[in-house]
Amino acid sequence: MNIAMTGLEAVREIRSGLPVERVDEAIRDGLLTAVEVDQIAVPRKTLAHRRQIGRLSVEQSDRFARLLRMIATAEDVFGTRQKAAQWLRRPTTVLDGQAPLQLLDTDAGAREVESLLIRISHGIAA
């Protein structure tokens, strides 16, 4: 699964509503658990309803795309999916004892995580 969506194509896909299959693929491929999707991007009951429609709403698509983008960025920084997954789920004092994944439900939280990943990638102590 190519998880990173970038550029204007990403904007078009998000505005059209991402296919629910993208969520199912992310869970099936082990990128996220169903609980994480429920807590961060699309509540379980809403996802069940969206399965009947086939697409996420624009807002849900945006949250889910942000989540995938942060996972892809962490994979780039840490070199492997496994290391990225461990980092995303491990609480850190830099984020007030929260795991980076816990902050990805908001844009402000995602920016904090992205800033931290940039600092790590440049070798700046976090």
Q: Could you give the CA distance from residue 54 to residue 115 in angstroms, rounded to a whole number?
A: 34
Question: Which residues does 116 contact at the CB level (< 8 Å), separation at least 6?
Answer: 94, 95, 100, 126
pLDDT given at position 106: 95
* 8/5 Cα distance (integer angstroms): 9
Tell me the per-residue pLDDT of 103-113, one tens digit each, with 9 for 90 and over. Answer: 999 999 999 99
Q: How far apart are CA 27 and CA 36, in angstroms?
A: 9
Residue with the larger pLDDT of the pair 85 and 5: 85
Rounded to the nearest 10 degrees, the angle between the axes of helix 44-53 and helix 20-28 is 120
Q: Is the pLDDT of residue 124 over 90?
A: no
Predicted confidence at residue 5, as pLDDT, reads 72
- Kindly state whether residue 2 falls inside one of the protein's structural domains: no
Answer whether residue 56 shows pLDDT above 90: yes
Task: Give me 78's structure tokens.
Answer: 């840490």
Instruction: Give residue-wise pLDDT tens across range 60-97.
Output: 999 999 999 999 999 999 999 999 999 999 999 999 99
pLDDT score at 31: 94
Residue 104's domain comprises 7-121
What is the distance between the alpha carbons of residues 113 and 28, in angstroms, rounded to a whole number?
24
Q: Is 23 exposed, middle or buried (0-12, 13-18, 19+ CB in 10 A)?
A: buried
Q: Is the pLDDT of residue 19 over 80?
A: yes
Q: What local confidence, expressed as pLDDT, does residue 4 receive?
A: 64
Which pLDDT score, from 0 to 100, does residue 14 have? 95
CA distances from 21 to 55, 90, 92, 98, 124 (A): 8, 28, 32, 29, 38
Residue 71 lies in a domain: yes
Phi then psi for residue 91, to 5 deg, are -60, 145
pLDDT at 3 > cutoff 70: no
Number of domains in the chain: 1
- Would 1 be classed as within a structural domain? no
